[in-house]
Each structure stands twice: as C-alpha cells, then as structure tokens.
Structure 1
Amino acid sequence: MNAEVSRYNSAQALDADALRTFVTVCETGSFRSAGAVVHRSPAAISGRIAKLERQIGRPLFERRGRRVHLNEDGTALLSYARRMLSLNGEIAARFGTRQTAGQVRFGAPDDYGTRWLPAILKTFARTYPAIEVSVVLGPSSDIMAAFNSEKLDVGLVTLANNDPRPLGTTVHHERLVWIGAASGSAAYQVPVPLALAHETCAWRQAAIDACNAAGCAYRVAMTSEHSAGQVAALAADFAVAPLPESMLGSGLEAIDADVLPALPDYTVRLVVRSDAEAAVRALENSVKVALSGGP
C-alpha cells in the first residue's frame, strides 16, 4: 500500500467531533478561545488538532504566538469539514426525527436574519417539512425578553465575549472591527462620526466603551435599528461602525488598529427552552448545523 492510499484510509476515520473542533479553532483563531467555546482545555484542543494532523498526514496551521493561522492544506480541509458537518447534521435530522411535527417560535437579531436565517430555514425545511416556524427579528435585548417571557422557544442573542452571564450555548465567535468606506476619510475626522445600532446593542456599547477608554473623541452621527442602515452610512463615507469582520464587503474596509481603538470579540449564544419538545429540539439542531459552516 503506497503512502497516498494509506493517508486516504486514515483520513476516512475522521469523526465529526474532531472536525468540529478544527472548525472552531479556525473561527476563533486560537486553541484557548476554541476551548472556551467547546468547554475543553487548550491542552485538550491542541491534542485533538495534533491527532487530526497525524491522521491527515500534514500540518494544518502555522503557529504565531498564541494565535494560529491556516496554511494551504488547512484552508482546503476547512471547506470539506464545514460541508461534512452540515451533511452529518442533515442526515441525523432526516432519519432521526423525520415524522416530527408542531410549531416553533424562533427569534434572532435582524442582521442574523439576512446572514444566517436562509441557511437555517433551508436545512430545517428539508428535514422537518411538517413543522411550522414563526420568526421574530429584533434587538438581542428584545429577543431575550421575549424568550424569558416564554414568547419564544429558540433564540439567538449577541453578547460581548467577556460577558459573564451563563446564557445558552455559544454557537459562533467572531472579531468585532471598525469598518468604513474603502479609502474613506470618516475614520480620520475629529470627533470620529459613528453609525451605531440601538442603545441596547452590545456592539454599540463596545464601541462607546472602547472610545471612552482610549480617549478617542466621537459623535453619534447615525442610529439605525438595522445593520443595513449602518452599511449604507459606511458606503457613503458618512461614518464608521463597529461590525463583525464577516460583514466586510465590496467598497468597505477594516480600519487600522492605530487609527481607532481595538474592539472586543463577541459571541452568539443559542437559547432553548429547557422543557423543549421534539419540534423545538429539531430547530435547535438545524441552527447548530447551519452555523457550523459560519455565516
């Protein structure tokens, strides 16, 4: 048996947990951050990645201090891993509870509605066609209030990465960055104009706290209930905004750290009723499957 065949056979033995750990490390950028998401020690994460690299037969990361960066092979595996996790979830859902019926009430912030809701509903509809879904989009504070008052069964909420509240399960972790128009001037104005969300938004508070801590003069130039409004302000070079790194797009760019103060990472938590019936657990699974591939 030659080396290529041997490598292929060992790769076939990869399990979903190993791939899920790998994807989590990729998304968080470090073993320590990944460990916090999956509730394992950094040493356990490192050992699992080392085992995965032995099975693949190649290194997957470049280590730079405490952070890790994908090499070429790691980038290729990440695409396969996300597809495999998504497919595994669909198979489990399709053949495990295909007769499940009922109603589920789901809530999420509006920007998740545009980024993630299509993938969530696509996965859910294929595997649970008999379940009716009611969707509410709004600020995380409103979603949490509706969940606590039992008006929602499943919800996604945004929290600062250092928020100590033990709410739900972390399903996504991402950098919060300052974003502005490509080659724009708004970031260099004094005071710097900010396009922010509502007053209860974790990203708004993170931006204000960072500016205050750094002594950076700012003014609120625009308030929008929807991230689309903020993006419009950025594209016009009217202001800059604190947004997830994944929202960078054509005509926009991240502002250098030496121009504006650094922002904290944030997490997305999934909250589910503790007495959830099968239909609710079905949607919970579909949300986890959809988010395993990232936004």
Structure 2
Amino acid sequence: MSAAEYKILIVDDHAHNLYTLRTLIEKHLAAEVLEAASGREAIDLSLEHRDIDLIILDVQMPEMDGFQTASMLKLRKRTRDVPIIFLTAAFKSEEFQQRGFAVGAVDYLLKPIDDNLLINKISTYFRLISKERSLNRELERLVAERTAELEQARQYLQNILTHMGEALLVLTPEGIIKTANPAACRMLDYAEADLIGLAIGDVFEEEGDAEAGAFMGTWLEALIRTGALAKIDARFIAQDGRRVSILFSRTAVKDSDGRISDIICIAKDMTGYVRIDPDDEHANPKETEQP
C-alpha cells in the first residue's frame, strides 16, 4: 500500500482480534493503525494522537465497555467528531444497536466480520474525510485570499490617511476622539495616543460657540438631518494653547438602523491665508494667501 493517509484506532480486549483487524486494514487501505486493548487505553491514545480519523470499537470489554468508552470519547472536544464503528458478537439486538447510535456511533457491525463490508464501510468514511479535508483546504485558501485582500485595502487606506495633508479626526457621537491621522497630530502638537479620549471641545473652537457642549448639540441635530455640515471657519487649540486657523467640515457615519456611529471631521490648515470680505468691492472674493 501507499503511504498512510489516514489514522485508525482499533479497540478490542483480545489480541487476536486486534491482529486480524490490523492485517485486514493494512492490506486494503492506506492507513496507520493504532491498537488499544481497553477503553482506558483507547482514551489515552486519543489524547496522545490528535489526528485520529476513525475508531473501530469492540462493544464487549471488561471494566469499561464500548458504550462507556464511546461516551467518554464524545465528551472530549478532540474526539467528539471522530466517527466510531462498533463491532460486537454478543450485543446483537436492535436495543443495543440503538444504544450504540445514541452514544455517537456511525455504524454498528456484527461479528463475525464480513471483510468486504468492513473495508467498504471504512473506505466510505475515508472518502468523506478526504472530501472534508479538500473543502477545509479550499476554505482556508479563500480565507487567506480574503485576509490578504482586506490587509491590502487596509494598508491602502492607511497610506491615504497617513499622507493626506488635511487633518482627520474620527469622533464618537458624543464628541470623543477615537482616531487621529498624522496631519491632525502635527497641527495639534499631540501624539495620537494623547488625542484619543479627548473631547472635541478640548482641541476645537468654532466662531460663535462659547462652549463645546453647545456646538456638539448643534452638530448632532444638523448631522442627523443632513449627514454632513458645510465647511466653516474655526480654530484648533494646539497642546501649547496656540490657535490654528482651519477650514472644518463634519460628516456623520450611520449604522444599519440609521443611528450615528461616528463623526468624521476634516480640517484644512488655513495658517497664512486670510478671507477677503466679499462685500469689499475692491477685493477678490476668493481666499488669498498673505504675502
């Protein structure tokens, strides 16, 4: 036979039965065979070998019979999904067969063993196991591809946020800073870790609003209605107290229920620019850089 592709645990308290089963399986199937002479030994081997694919279990054994052994194996996470084929010469009634299925057996075969039937049964489970392995490999491949795509997209967005010239702040609906990009940290002279957790009112002044709570209330009302607010003249308050003139806009991000989950704030540094009064007939109404 070719190299072993599967691992079978055979359990029987008679050495002759173990030898017969091993010989039969190794003759017809590419499988590694583990032997246990008792239920306790079977449980110990299942703990030692994490990759058992199938268990062939004799029902009539002293101390711990096959039903008890199967029940113990099904209680353990590592072996609860391993198929169990019961073999028995004594417990032939339908009552015992039902008991075997109740404790997790997938098949209940009677001795003397029909060699062809047993090999066909084992081969069927091997085919199912092989199919499951193929599906798992395909799933792992798809997950790996999707993970790589998401990481690539995350890195792409991170590069945009890192290199954009405008300051970006992401706030909770209550106005607490969740995220800040490097431009915002530079404008405010804060490390990102120090900005996170501050209220927007700690670093922001809007003309005409004396208190942060007041304009947050106005913000939320407007954001709930429209989802965005137009650019406004405002000021960042740097860590050292300096006021940095900015052009500021806010956009609400809503969840599937229509509730605001985040507020995105973008600010352009207007230092060095002055706004020309549009009523001044001698001035260009556009923003003009100071000489």
Q: Same fold (TM over 0.5)?
A: no
Q: Bigger radius of gyration, 1 or 2? A: 2
Between 1 and 2, higher relative CO (CA 8 Å, sep ≥ 6) is seen in 1
The interval holding the TM-score normalised by the smaller chain is under 0.3
Select the structure that is richer in helix. Answer: 1
